[in-house]
Amino acid sequence: MIRRNIIFLLVTLLAFLVSPQWAQDDCSSFLVTKGASKDGSVMITYTCDGEFLPHLEYIPAQDHKPDEYIEIRGRGDRLRGKIKQVPHTYAVVGLMNEHQLAIGETTFGGRRELRNPDGLLHYSTLMTLALQRAKTAREAIKVMAALVEEYGYASSGESFSIADTEEAWIMEMIGPGPGGKGAHWVALRIPDGYICAHANMSRIGEFPLDDPKNCLYSDRVVSFAEQKGYYDEKSGKSFSFRYAYDPPEPSSLRTCAARVWSMFRRSAPSLNLSPDFQRGVEGAKPYPLWIKPDKKLSLHDVMNIMRDHYEGTPFDMTKGVDAGPFGSPLRCRGLTWKVDEIEYSWERPISTQQTAFSFISQSRGWLPDPIGGVYWYGWDDTYTTCYVPLYCCINDIPKSFAQGDLQRFSWDSAWWVFNFVANLANLKYSYMVKDIQKVQSALEIQFISLQPAIEKAALDLYEKNPELLVQFLTNYSVSQGDMVVKRWIELGEFLITKYNDGYVKDDRGRPRGLGYPSEWLRTVLELKPQQFKLPEWGNERKK
Protein backbone atom coordinates (compact mmCIF):
# COMPACT_ATOMS: atom_id res chain seq x y z
CA MET A 1 0.00 0.00 0.00
CA ILE A 2 2.86 2.37 0.82
CA ARG A 3 4.38 1.72 -2.58
CA ARG A 4 1.03 2.34 -4.24
CA ASN A 5 0.72 5.70 -2.49
CA ILE A 6 4.22 6.74 -3.57
CA ILE A 7 3.58 5.64 -7.14
CA PHE A 8 0.32 7.61 -7.26
CA LEU A 9 2.00 10.83 -6.18
CA LEU A 10 4.90 10.23 -8.56
CA VAL A 11 2.65 9.50 -11.54
CA THR A 12 0.50 12.53 -10.78
CA LEU A 13 3.54 14.80 -10.64
CA LEU A 14 5.07 13.36 -13.80
CA ALA A 15 1.79 13.71 -15.70
CA PHE A 16 1.80 17.44 -15.07
CA LEU A 17 5.51 17.81 -15.75
CA VAL A 18 5.60 16.00 -19.07
CA SER A 19 2.16 16.80 -20.50
CA PRO A 20 2.21 20.33 -21.94
CA GLN A 21 -1.28 19.88 -23.41
CA TRP A 22 -2.71 19.51 -19.90
CA ALA A 23 -0.81 22.51 -18.61
CA GLN A 24 -1.92 24.70 -21.52
CA ASP A 25 -5.63 23.96 -21.30
CA ASP A 26 -8.18 25.46 -18.98
CA CYS A 27 -10.49 24.32 -16.21
CA SER A 28 -13.72 25.61 -14.64
CA SER A 29 -14.94 25.46 -11.04
CA PHE A 30 -18.22 26.32 -9.34
CA LEU A 31 -18.76 26.46 -5.55
CA VAL A 32 -22.14 26.16 -3.81
CA THR A 33 -22.41 26.77 -0.08
CA LYS A 34 -24.70 24.88 2.28
CA GLY A 35 -27.24 27.69 2.39
CA ALA A 36 -27.28 28.07 -1.40
CA SER A 37 -28.10 24.42 -2.13
CA LYS A 38 -31.58 22.98 -2.18
CA ASP A 39 -30.83 20.08 0.16
CA GLY A 40 -28.14 21.66 2.34
CA SER A 41 -25.22 20.05 0.51
CA VAL A 42 -21.94 21.85 0.05
CA MET A 43 -20.97 21.29 -3.59
CA ILE A 44 -17.98 22.11 -5.75
CA THR A 45 -17.38 21.27 -9.38
CA TYR A 46 -14.21 20.79 -11.38
CA THR A 47 -13.69 20.30 -15.09
CA CYS A 48 -10.14 19.10 -15.67
CA ASP A 49 -9.52 20.18 -19.25
CA GLY A 50 -6.66 19.02 -21.43
CA GLU A 51 -5.73 16.41 -23.99
CA PHE A 52 -4.75 13.56 -21.71
CA LEU A 53 -6.26 10.30 -20.49
CA PRO A 54 -6.55 10.20 -16.70
CA HIS A 55 -6.98 7.11 -14.54
CA LEU A 56 -9.34 7.51 -11.61
CA GLU A 57 -7.43 6.55 -8.45
CA TYR A 58 -8.41 5.10 -5.11
CA ILE A 59 -5.88 5.56 -2.29
CA PRO A 60 -6.65 3.56 0.88
CA ALA A 61 -6.26 4.93 4.39
CA GLN A 62 -2.89 3.95 5.81
CA ASP A 63 -0.77 4.02 8.96
CA HIS A 64 2.85 5.03 8.53
CA LYS A 65 6.08 4.50 10.42
CA PRO A 66 8.01 7.50 11.83
CA ASP A 67 10.81 7.16 9.27
CA GLU A 68 8.56 6.98 6.17
CA TYR A 69 8.94 9.46 3.32
CA ILE A 70 7.22 10.11 0.01
CA GLU A 71 9.67 10.36 -2.86
CA ILE A 72 9.04 13.02 -5.49
CA ARG A 73 10.76 12.26 -8.76
CA GLY A 74 11.01 14.24 -11.98
CA ARG A 75 12.03 13.56 -15.54
CA GLY A 76 14.26 10.58 -16.04
CA ASP A 77 13.15 9.23 -12.66
CA ARG A 78 15.47 11.73 -10.98
CA LEU A 79 14.84 12.07 -7.25
CA ARG A 80 13.84 15.69 -6.60
CA GLY A 81 13.16 15.41 -2.89
CA LYS A 82 11.35 13.63 -0.08
CA ILE A 83 8.26 14.58 1.94
CA LYS A 84 7.99 13.30 5.49
CA GLN A 85 4.95 11.08 5.93
CA VAL A 86 2.39 11.63 8.71
CA PRO A 87 1.33 8.84 11.13
CA HIS A 88 -2.03 8.29 9.42
CA THR A 89 -3.44 9.24 6.00
CA TYR A 90 -7.08 9.19 4.96
CA ALA A 91 -8.65 7.27 2.09
CA VAL A 92 -9.17 9.23 -1.12
CA VAL A 93 -11.35 8.57 -4.19
CA GLY A 94 -10.35 10.89 -7.01
CA LEU A 95 -10.33 14.31 -5.33
CA MET A 96 -12.61 13.57 -2.36
CA ASN A 97 -11.62 11.90 0.89
CA GLU A 98 -13.41 9.70 3.39
CA HIS A 99 -14.35 12.74 5.53
CA GLN A 100 -16.28 14.38 2.66
CA LEU A 101 -13.48 16.88 2.00
CA ALA A 102 -13.17 17.74 -1.70
CA ILE A 103 -10.69 19.90 -3.62
CA GLY A 104 -10.72 21.23 -7.20
CA GLU A 105 -8.62 23.81 -9.03
CA THR A 106 -8.10 26.06 -12.00
CA THR A 107 -4.74 27.46 -13.09
CA PHE A 108 -4.48 31.22 -13.54
CA GLY A 109 -0.78 31.34 -14.39
CA GLY A 110 -0.05 34.82 -13.09
CA ARG A 111 3.34 36.48 -13.29
CA ARG A 112 5.80 34.12 -14.98
CA GLU A 113 8.76 35.40 -13.00
CA LEU A 114 7.22 33.98 -9.82
CA ARG A 115 7.51 30.35 -10.90
CA ASN A 116 9.99 28.47 -8.78
CA PRO A 117 11.81 25.57 -10.49
CA ASP A 118 13.33 24.64 -7.13
CA GLY A 119 9.94 24.11 -5.47
CA LEU A 120 9.08 20.48 -4.76
CA LEU A 121 5.28 20.50 -4.68
CA HIS A 122 3.18 20.81 -7.80
CA TYR A 123 -0.43 21.80 -7.16
CA SER A 124 -1.71 18.31 -8.03
CA THR A 125 0.53 16.69 -5.43
CA LEU A 126 -0.43 19.40 -2.95
CA MET A 127 -4.13 18.62 -3.42
CA THR A 128 -3.62 14.90 -2.91
CA LEU A 129 -1.53 15.40 0.23
CA ALA A 130 -4.13 17.77 1.68
CA LEU A 131 -6.90 15.21 1.07
CA GLN A 132 -4.83 12.54 2.79
CA ARG A 133 -4.04 14.73 5.80
CA ALA A 134 -7.07 16.95 6.48
CA LYS A 135 -10.68 16.45 7.55
CA THR A 136 -12.03 19.96 6.91
CA ALA A 137 -11.55 22.75 4.41
CA ARG A 138 -9.87 24.96 6.98
CA GLU A 139 -7.48 22.14 7.90
CA ALA A 140 -6.72 21.55 4.22
CA ILE A 141 -5.74 25.21 3.76
CA LYS A 142 -3.38 25.01 6.73
CA VAL A 143 -1.89 21.71 5.50
CA MET A 144 -1.27 23.13 2.03
CA ALA A 145 0.27 26.30 3.45
CA ALA A 146 2.56 24.34 5.78
CA LEU A 147 3.67 21.97 3.01
CA VAL A 148 4.68 24.69 0.55
CA GLU A 149 6.43 26.57 3.33
CA GLU A 150 8.55 23.52 4.12
CA TYR A 151 9.05 21.98 0.68
CA GLY A 152 8.47 24.81 -1.80
CA TYR A 153 5.76 25.42 -4.38
CA ALA A 154 6.48 24.33 -7.96
CA SER A 155 3.47 25.55 -9.95
CA SER A 156 2.30 28.83 -11.44
CA GLY A 157 -0.72 30.69 -10.04
CA GLU A 158 -3.55 28.45 -8.88
CA SER A 159 -7.13 28.85 -7.61
CA PHE A 160 -8.39 26.03 -5.37
CA SER A 161 -12.00 25.14 -4.51
CA ILE A 162 -12.10 23.47 -1.10
CA ALA A 163 -15.29 22.08 0.45
CA ASP A 164 -16.33 20.12 3.52
CA THR A 165 -19.75 19.42 5.04
CA GLU A 166 -20.12 22.96 6.42
CA GLU A 167 -18.04 25.38 4.36
CA ALA A 168 -16.69 26.20 0.91
CA TRP A 169 -13.45 28.16 0.50
CA ILE A 170 -11.55 29.63 -2.43
CA MET A 171 -7.78 29.71 -2.01
CA GLU A 172 -5.35 31.34 -4.44
CA MET A 173 -1.62 30.67 -4.46
CA ILE A 174 1.41 31.76 -6.45
CA GLY A 175 5.12 31.09 -6.12
CA PRO A 176 7.95 33.35 -4.86
CA GLY A 177 10.16 33.09 -7.95
CA PRO A 178 13.38 31.05 -8.46
CA GLY A 179 15.09 30.14 -5.22
CA GLY A 180 12.32 31.67 -3.12
CA LYS A 181 10.72 30.09 -0.09
CA GLY A 182 7.12 28.93 0.35
CA ALA A 183 4.31 30.62 -1.59
CA HIS A 184 2.08 33.68 -1.43
CA TRP A 185 -1.57 32.91 -0.91
CA VAL A 186 -4.93 34.00 0.42
CA ALA A 187 -8.05 31.96 1.26
CA LEU A 188 -11.60 33.25 1.71
CA ARG A 189 -14.65 31.46 3.09
CA ILE A 190 -17.65 31.82 0.79
CA PRO A 191 -20.49 33.34 2.88
CA ASP A 192 -23.25 30.82 3.53
CA GLY A 193 -26.09 31.19 1.05
CA TYR A 194 -23.76 32.35 -1.73
CA ILE A 195 -22.03 30.79 -4.72
CA CYS A 196 -18.59 31.41 -6.24
CA ALA A 197 -16.84 30.53 -9.50
CA HIS A 198 -13.36 30.65 -11.01
CA ALA A 199 -11.96 29.72 -14.41
CA ASN A 200 -8.21 30.22 -15.00
CA MET A 201 -8.13 33.82 -13.85
CA SER A 202 -7.39 35.05 -10.34
CA ARG A 203 -10.64 36.00 -8.60
CA ILE A 204 -9.64 37.29 -5.16
CA GLY A 205 -9.30 41.06 -5.06
CA GLU A 206 -9.35 42.97 -1.78
CA PHE A 207 -9.52 40.87 1.40
CA PRO A 208 -9.72 41.59 5.15
CA LEU A 209 -6.49 41.41 7.13
CA ASP A 210 -8.20 41.03 10.51
CA ASP A 211 -10.91 38.38 10.05
CA PRO A 212 -9.30 34.93 10.67
CA LYS A 213 -12.70 33.24 10.80
CA ASN A 214 -13.32 34.08 7.15
CA CYS A 215 -9.92 34.94 5.71
CA LEU A 216 -6.50 33.31 5.95
CA TYR A 217 -3.36 34.47 4.14
CA SER A 218 0.42 34.09 4.04
CA ASP A 219 2.60 36.44 6.06
CA ARG A 220 4.24 38.29 3.16
CA VAL A 221 1.47 38.28 0.58
CA VAL A 222 1.22 42.11 0.66
CA SER A 223 4.80 43.08 1.52
CA PHE A 224 6.24 40.81 -1.20
CA ALA A 225 4.02 42.48 -3.81
CA GLU A 226 5.28 45.87 -2.60
CA GLN A 227 8.88 44.67 -2.75
CA LYS A 228 8.42 43.46 -6.35
CA GLY A 229 6.65 46.65 -7.43
CA TYR A 230 3.30 44.97 -8.03
CA TYR A 231 1.61 47.22 -5.46
CA ASP A 232 2.27 50.67 -4.07
CA GLU A 233 0.67 51.43 -0.73
CA LYS A 234 1.20 55.16 -1.36
CA SER A 235 -1.21 54.94 -4.28
CA GLY A 236 -4.05 55.07 -1.75
CA LYS A 237 -5.64 51.97 -3.26
CA SER A 238 -6.42 48.88 -1.22
CA PHE A 239 -4.30 45.83 -1.95
CA SER A 240 -5.84 43.42 -4.48
CA PHE A 241 -4.39 39.93 -4.83
CA ARG A 242 -5.56 39.53 -8.43
CA TYR A 243 -4.26 42.90 -9.65
CA ALA A 244 -0.92 42.33 -7.94
CA TYR A 245 -0.29 38.74 -8.99
CA ASP A 246 -2.46 38.15 -12.07
CA PRO A 247 -3.25 41.42 -13.89
CA PRO A 248 -6.12 40.80 -16.35
CA GLU A 249 -5.39 40.66 -20.08
CA PRO A 250 -7.83 40.81 -23.04
CA SER A 251 -7.36 37.11 -23.78
CA SER A 252 -8.04 36.05 -20.18
CA LEU A 253 -11.18 38.19 -20.02
CA ARG A 254 -12.62 36.60 -23.15
CA THR A 255 -11.73 33.00 -22.34
CA CYS A 256 -11.87 33.01 -18.52
CA ALA A 257 -14.06 35.79 -17.12
CA ALA A 258 -16.71 34.79 -19.66
CA ARG A 259 -17.17 31.40 -18.01
CA VAL A 260 -17.60 32.98 -14.57
CA TRP A 261 -20.13 35.38 -16.09
CA SER A 262 -22.08 32.49 -17.59
CA MET A 263 -22.15 30.44 -14.36
CA PHE A 264 -23.41 33.53 -12.53
CA ARG A 265 -25.95 34.61 -15.15
CA ARG A 266 -27.49 31.13 -15.13
CA SER A 267 -27.64 31.06 -11.31
CA ALA A 268 -29.01 34.57 -10.84
CA PRO A 269 -30.70 35.90 -14.00
CA SER A 270 -32.25 38.69 -11.91
CA LEU A 271 -28.82 40.34 -11.51
CA ASN A 272 -28.69 40.92 -15.27
CA LEU A 273 -24.90 40.83 -15.11
CA SER A 274 -23.38 42.78 -17.96
CA PRO A 275 -21.06 40.95 -20.35
CA ASP A 276 -18.95 44.11 -20.68
CA PHE A 277 -16.13 42.96 -18.39
CA GLN A 278 -15.66 39.62 -20.11
CA ARG A 279 -15.76 41.37 -23.50
CA GLY A 280 -12.94 43.68 -22.39
CA VAL A 281 -14.92 46.92 -22.42
CA GLU A 282 -12.71 49.61 -20.90
CA GLY A 283 -13.81 50.65 -17.41
CA ALA A 284 -16.20 47.73 -16.93
CA LYS A 285 -16.40 46.43 -13.36
CA PRO A 286 -15.09 42.93 -12.58
CA TYR A 287 -17.67 40.35 -11.53
CA PRO A 288 -18.11 39.91 -7.77
CA LEU A 289 -16.27 37.03 -6.12
CA TRP A 290 -19.56 35.57 -4.94
CA ILE A 291 -23.27 36.17 -5.51
CA LYS A 292 -26.57 34.96 -4.06
CA PRO A 293 -28.44 32.70 -6.50
CA ASP A 294 -32.05 33.52 -7.36
CA LYS A 295 -33.09 30.15 -5.96
CA LYS A 296 -31.38 27.41 -4.05
CA LEU A 297 -29.58 25.07 -6.42
CA SER A 298 -30.17 21.33 -6.64
CA LEU A 299 -27.59 18.78 -7.71
CA HIS A 300 -29.33 18.60 -11.08
CA ASP A 301 -29.16 22.40 -11.42
CA VAL A 302 -25.41 22.26 -10.84
CA MET A 303 -25.01 19.54 -13.46
CA ASN A 304 -26.83 21.74 -15.96
CA ILE A 305 -24.80 24.85 -15.09
CA MET A 306 -21.64 22.90 -15.94
CA ARG A 307 -23.15 22.18 -19.36
CA ASP A 308 -22.91 25.52 -21.07
CA HIS A 309 -22.00 27.02 -24.45
CA TYR A 310 -23.51 30.46 -23.69
CA GLU A 311 -26.86 29.25 -25.01
CA GLY A 312 -29.50 31.98 -25.06
CA THR A 313 -26.95 34.82 -25.13
CA PRO A 314 -25.46 36.84 -28.01
CA PHE A 315 -22.42 34.54 -27.72
CA ASP A 316 -24.38 31.30 -28.22
CA MET A 317 -21.89 28.89 -29.80
CA THR A 318 -24.62 26.73 -31.36
CA LYS A 319 -25.67 29.61 -33.66
CA GLY A 320 -24.05 31.24 -36.67
CA VAL A 321 -21.81 30.17 -39.51
CA ASP A 322 -19.05 29.22 -37.05
CA ALA A 323 -21.37 26.52 -35.66
CA GLY A 324 -21.57 24.83 -39.06
CA PRO A 325 -24.73 23.38 -40.57
CA PHE A 326 -25.63 21.33 -37.48
CA GLY A 327 -25.14 23.85 -34.69
CA SER A 328 -21.94 22.44 -33.22
CA PRO A 329 -20.58 24.45 -30.27
CA LEU A 330 -17.14 22.85 -30.63
CA ARG A 331 -14.19 24.92 -31.87
CA CYS A 332 -10.82 23.48 -32.78
CA ARG A 333 -7.83 24.77 -30.82
CA GLY A 334 -6.11 27.22 -30.71
CA LEU A 335 -8.58 29.58 -29.24
CA THR A 336 -6.89 32.65 -30.70
CA TRP A 337 -6.03 33.11 -34.36
CA LYS A 338 -5.03 35.78 -36.86
CA VAL A 339 -6.33 36.85 -40.24
CA ASP A 340 -4.54 39.68 -42.04
CA GLU A 341 -2.51 40.32 -38.86
CA ILE A 342 -5.64 41.02 -36.82
CA GLU A 343 -6.05 38.78 -33.75
CA TYR A 344 -9.35 37.06 -32.97
CA SER A 345 -10.58 34.58 -30.39
CA TRP A 346 -13.23 31.90 -30.36
CA GLU A 347 -15.50 31.78 -27.36
CA ARG A 348 -14.28 29.41 -24.65
CA PRO A 349 -17.24 27.68 -22.97
CA ILE A 350 -17.53 25.64 -19.77
CA SER A 351 -18.40 22.57 -21.85
CA THR A 352 -15.50 21.70 -24.11
CA GLN A 353 -14.37 18.62 -25.99
CA GLN A 354 -10.97 18.99 -24.31
CA THR A 355 -12.33 18.03 -20.87
CA ALA A 356 -10.63 14.85 -19.65
CA PHE A 357 -12.85 14.37 -16.62
CA SER A 358 -15.09 16.41 -14.34
CA PHE A 359 -16.71 15.97 -10.96
CA ILE A 360 -19.40 17.42 -8.73
CA SER A 361 -18.82 16.73 -5.05
CA GLN A 362 -21.66 16.54 -2.56
CA SER A 363 -20.73 16.96 1.12
CA ARG A 364 -23.66 16.51 3.52
CA GLY A 365 -23.17 17.03 7.23
CA TRP A 366 -26.47 15.52 8.35
CA LEU A 367 -25.31 12.08 7.17
CA PRO A 368 -22.39 9.96 8.42
CA ASP A 369 -19.26 10.52 6.34
CA PRO A 370 -19.35 7.18 4.48
CA ILE A 371 -22.84 8.02 3.17
CA GLY A 372 -22.80 11.81 3.07
CA GLY A 373 -19.94 12.27 0.61
CA VAL A 374 -20.72 11.56 -3.05
CA TYR A 375 -18.23 12.10 -5.85
CA TRP A 376 -20.27 12.48 -9.05
CA TYR A 377 -17.76 11.62 -11.74
CA GLY A 378 -17.94 12.13 -15.49
CA TRP A 379 -15.64 11.49 -18.44
CA ASP A 380 -14.92 13.83 -21.35
CA ASP A 381 -17.12 16.78 -22.35
CA THR A 382 -19.56 17.79 -19.59
CA TYR A 383 -22.29 18.33 -22.19
CA THR A 384 -22.26 14.71 -23.33
CA THR A 385 -21.08 12.91 -20.19
CA CYS A 386 -23.12 11.05 -17.59
CA TYR A 387 -22.30 11.70 -13.92
CA VAL A 388 -21.91 8.49 -11.91
CA PRO A 389 -22.31 8.50 -8.09
CA LEU A 390 -19.22 7.23 -6.28
CA TYR A 391 -19.58 7.27 -2.48
CA CYS A 392 -16.55 8.56 -0.60
CA CYS A 393 -16.20 5.39 1.51
CA ILE A 394 -15.79 2.94 -1.37
CA ASN A 395 -12.69 0.73 -1.51
CA ASP A 396 -12.78 -0.10 -5.21
CA ILE A 397 -13.60 1.65 -8.49
CA PRO A 398 -14.91 0.49 -11.89
CA LYS A 399 -12.09 -1.22 -13.77
CA SER A 400 -12.66 0.80 -16.95
CA PHE A 401 -12.27 4.05 -14.96
CA ALA A 402 -8.65 3.22 -14.16
CA GLN A 403 -7.24 2.17 -17.52
CA GLY A 404 -6.62 3.39 -21.03
CA ASP A 405 -3.89 4.86 -23.21
CA LEU A 406 -4.24 8.12 -25.13
CA GLN A 407 -2.29 6.57 -28.02
CA ARG A 408 -4.56 3.54 -28.46
CA PHE A 409 -8.36 3.36 -28.65
CA SER A 410 -9.98 0.71 -26.46
CA TRP A 411 -13.57 -0.19 -25.56
CA ASP A 412 -12.17 -1.28 -22.18
CA SER A 413 -11.42 2.35 -21.22
CA ALA A 414 -14.31 4.50 -19.98
CA TRP A 415 -12.54 7.63 -21.26
CA TRP A 416 -12.35 6.25 -24.79
CA VAL A 417 -15.99 5.13 -24.72
CA PHE A 418 -17.25 8.60 -23.79
CA ASN A 419 -14.78 10.24 -26.13
CA PHE A 420 -16.01 8.08 -29.02
CA VAL A 421 -19.63 9.09 -28.52
CA ALA A 422 -18.75 12.78 -28.13
CA ASN A 423 -16.60 12.81 -31.27
CA LEU A 424 -19.18 10.90 -33.27
CA ALA A 425 -21.75 13.58 -32.40
CA ASN A 426 -19.68 16.13 -34.34
CA LEU A 427 -20.97 14.61 -37.60
CA LYS A 428 -24.55 15.79 -37.04
CA TYR A 429 -24.48 17.56 -33.70
CA SER A 430 -27.95 19.10 -33.48
CA TYR A 431 -29.47 15.68 -34.20
CA MET A 432 -27.17 13.37 -32.26
CA VAL A 433 -26.91 15.44 -29.09
CA LYS A 434 -30.65 14.95 -28.50
CA ASP A 435 -30.20 11.17 -28.57
CA ILE A 436 -27.24 11.47 -26.17
CA GLN A 437 -29.15 13.74 -23.79
CA LYS A 438 -32.08 11.35 -23.74
CA VAL A 439 -29.88 8.58 -22.32
CA GLN A 440 -27.88 10.99 -20.16
CA SER A 441 -30.99 12.47 -18.55
CA ALA A 442 -32.65 9.10 -17.92
CA LEU A 443 -29.59 7.74 -16.13
CA GLU A 444 -28.81 10.82 -14.05
CA ILE A 445 -32.45 11.26 -12.98
CA GLN A 446 -32.48 7.57 -12.06
CA PHE A 447 -29.36 7.98 -9.90
CA ILE A 448 -30.75 11.04 -8.13
CA SER A 449 -34.13 9.36 -7.61
CA LEU A 450 -32.49 6.25 -6.17
CA GLN A 451 -30.34 8.20 -3.70
CA PRO A 452 -32.91 8.25 -0.84
CA ALA A 453 -33.52 4.49 -1.06
CA ILE A 454 -29.82 3.63 -1.36
CA GLU A 455 -28.93 5.86 1.56
CA LYS A 456 -31.78 4.58 3.72
CA ALA A 457 -30.41 1.07 3.32
CA ALA A 458 -26.88 2.39 3.92
CA LEU A 459 -27.92 4.11 7.16
CA ASP A 460 -29.40 0.86 8.41
CA LEU A 461 -26.11 -0.91 7.70
CA TYR A 462 -24.11 1.93 9.28
CA GLU A 463 -25.81 1.23 12.61
CA LYS A 464 -25.61 -2.56 12.34
CA ASN A 465 -22.55 -3.46 10.27
CA PRO A 466 -20.18 -0.65 9.14
CA GLU A 467 -17.97 -3.06 7.18
CA LEU A 468 -20.95 -4.34 5.21
CA LEU A 469 -21.96 -0.71 4.59
CA VAL A 470 -18.67 -0.05 2.78
CA GLN A 471 -19.12 -3.16 0.66
CA PHE A 472 -22.73 -2.23 -0.12
CA LEU A 473 -21.85 1.28 -1.33
CA THR A 474 -18.77 0.00 -3.16
CA ASN A 475 -20.84 -2.58 -5.03
CA TYR A 476 -23.48 0.02 -5.86
CA SER A 477 -20.96 2.61 -7.10
CA VAL A 478 -18.92 0.14 -9.15
CA SER A 479 -21.97 -1.55 -10.67
CA GLN A 480 -23.47 1.79 -11.71
CA GLY A 481 -20.17 2.85 -13.25
CA ASP A 482 -19.95 -0.41 -15.19
CA MET A 483 -23.57 -0.09 -16.28
CA VAL A 484 -23.10 3.46 -17.59
CA VAL A 485 -20.03 2.49 -19.63
CA LYS A 486 -21.93 -0.47 -21.12
CA ARG A 487 -24.88 1.80 -21.91
CA TRP A 488 -22.56 4.31 -23.57
CA ILE A 489 -21.04 1.62 -25.78
CA GLU A 490 -24.57 0.72 -26.86
CA LEU A 491 -25.29 4.40 -27.45
CA GLY A 492 -22.23 4.71 -29.70
CA GLU A 493 -23.31 1.67 -31.71
CA PHE A 494 -26.82 3.12 -32.01
CA LEU A 495 -25.58 6.51 -33.22
CA ILE A 496 -23.21 5.15 -35.86
CA THR A 497 -26.06 2.97 -37.17
CA LYS A 498 -28.74 5.67 -37.15
CA TYR A 499 -26.55 8.43 -38.60
CA ASN A 500 -24.66 6.62 -41.35
CA ASP A 501 -23.18 8.16 -44.50
CA GLY A 502 -25.05 11.44 -43.97
CA TYR A 503 -28.46 9.77 -43.74
CA VAL A 504 -30.75 9.58 -40.72
CA LYS A 505 -32.66 6.36 -40.20
CA ASP A 506 -36.30 6.69 -39.18
CA ASP A 507 -38.12 4.51 -36.63
CA ARG A 508 -38.46 1.74 -39.18
CA GLY A 509 -34.77 1.77 -40.04
CA ARG A 510 -35.19 3.47 -43.42
CA PRO A 511 -32.43 5.98 -44.34
CA ARG A 512 -33.62 9.51 -45.07
CA GLY A 513 -31.62 12.39 -46.52
CA LEU A 514 -32.65 15.41 -44.43
CA GLY A 515 -30.28 17.89 -46.02
CA TYR A 516 -29.12 21.08 -44.35
CA PRO A 517 -30.90 23.83 -42.38
CA SER A 518 -32.21 26.62 -44.67
CA GLU A 519 -30.45 29.31 -42.62
CA TRP A 520 -27.09 27.68 -43.26
CA LEU A 521 -27.89 27.20 -46.96
CA ARG A 522 -28.59 30.93 -47.29
CA THR A 523 -25.16 31.62 -45.79
CA VAL A 524 -23.58 29.30 -48.38
CA LEU A 525 -25.38 31.14 -51.19
CA GLU A 526 -24.25 34.52 -49.87
CA LEU A 527 -20.64 33.33 -50.14
CA LYS A 528 -21.10 31.55 -53.49
CA PRO A 529 -24.22 33.00 -55.14
CA GLN A 530 -23.75 31.36 -58.58
CA GLN A 531 -21.86 28.11 -58.01
CA PHE A 532 -24.79 25.93 -56.99
CA LYS A 533 -27.50 27.56 -59.09
CA LEU A 534 -29.07 25.31 -61.70
CA PRO A 535 -29.37 26.61 -65.30
CA GLU A 536 -32.78 28.07 -66.13
CA TRP A 537 -33.18 26.65 -69.66
CA GLY A 538 -34.48 23.35 -68.28
CA ASN A 539 -37.24 25.18 -66.49
CA GLU A 540 -38.31 26.81 -69.77
CA ARG A 541 -38.80 23.38 -71.39
CA LYS A 542 -41.02 22.22 -68.55
CA LYS A 543 -43.26 25.20 -69.16
Tell me the DSSP string of 103-116: EEEEEEE--GGG--
pLDDT class of 8 with cuts at 50, 70, 90? very low
Averaged pLDDT score across all residues of the chain: 93
Is the pLDDT reported for residue 142 higher than 80? yes
Q: Identify the pLDDT of residue 3.
A: 41
Q: Identify the pLDDT of residue 26.
A: 79
- Count how many Cα atoms sit within 13 Å of the Cα of residue 294 in the half-sphere of its side chain: 12
Q: Identify the pLDDT of residue 22.
A: 37
Find the Cα–Cα–Cα–Cα dihedral 530, 534, 538, 543, rounded to 10°.
-90
Is the pLDDT reported for residue 10 higher than 60? no
The tens digit of pLDDT for each residue in 51-98 reads 899 999 999 999 999 999 999 988 888 999 999 999 999 999 999 999
Share of residues in the chain with pLDDT > 90 (%): 86
Q: Identify the pLDDT of residue 74.
A: 85
Whether residue 50 contacts residue 22, with contact meaning beta carbons closer than 8 Å, is answered with yes
Peptide bond into 205 cis (omega under 30): no
Q: What whole-number distance in Å separates Cα of residue 192 and Cα of residue 478? A: 33
pLDDT class of 13 with cuts at 50, 70, 90? very low
The tens digit of pLDDT for each residue in 393-444 reads 999 999 999 999 999 999 999 999 999 999 999 999 999 999 999 999 999 9
Count of CB atoms within 10 A of residue 346's CB?
A: 17
Q: Identify the pLDDT of residue 249.
A: 85
pLDDT class of 535 with cuts at 50, 70, 90? confident
The tens digit of pLDDT for each residue in 104-135 reads 999 999 999 999 999 999 999 999 999 999 99
Is the pLDDT reported for residue 541 higher than 70? no
| φ/ψ (deg, to 5) at 392 | -70, -10
Whether residue 279 contacts residue 272, with contact meaning beta carbons closer than 8 Å, is answered with no
Kindly tell me the burial class for residue 193, based on how many C-beta atoms sit within 10 Å of its own C-beta (0-12, 13-18, 19 or more): middle
In DSSP notation, 291-333 reads E--SSPBPHHHHHHHTS-S-TTSTT-TTSSGGGTTTT----PS
Closest CA to 149 of 113, 107, 185, 111: 185
The pTM of the full predicted model, rounded to 2 decimals, is 0.93
Is the pLDDT reported for residue 328 higher than 50? yes
Q: Which amino acid is at 384?
A: T
Separation of CA 332 from chain center: 19
The tens digit of pLDDT for each residue in 195-247 reads 999 999 999 999 999 999 999 999 999 999 999 999 999 888 999 999 999 99
Whether residue 86 contacts residue 46, with contact meaning beta carbons closer than 8 Å, is answered with no
Phi/psi region, residue 501 (left: phi>0; alpha: psi -120 to 50; beta: rest), is left
Is the pLDDT reported for residue 543 higher than 60? no
Q: Calculate mean pLDDT across residues 9-38.
A: 64
Whether residue 375 contacts residue 478, with contact meaning beta carbons closer than 8 Å, is answered with no
Query: In sequence order, which residues have a C-beta less than 8 Å from that of residue 199 and are 6 or more positions away?
Result: 26, 27, 28, 29, 106, 256, 257, 259, 260, 350
Whether residue 349 contacts residue 341, with contact meaning beta carbons closer than 8 Å, is answered with no
Closest CA to 45 of 335, 378, 320: 378
Is the pLDDT reported for residue 20 higher than 60? no
Instruction: Give whole-number Cα distances, 11 to 58, 160, 356, in Å.
Output: 14, 21, 16
Count of CB atoms within 10 A of residue 449's CB?
A: 9
Q: Identify the pLDDT of residue 279.
A: 94
Q: What whole-number distance in Å separates Cα of residue 432 and Cα of residue 429? A: 5
Q: Identify the pLDDT of residue 537.
A: 77
Q: What whole-number distance in Å separates Cα of residue 286 and Cα of residue 420? A: 39
Kindly tell me the burial class for residue 172, based on how many C-beta atoms sit within 10 Å of its own C-beta (0-12, 13-18, 19 or more): buried
Instruction: Give whole-number Cα distances, 287 to 111, 192, 214, 352, in Å.
Output: 21, 19, 20, 23
pLDDT class of 542 with cuts at 50, 70, 90? low
Q: What whole-number distance in Å separates Cα of residue 383 and Cα of residue 426? A: 13
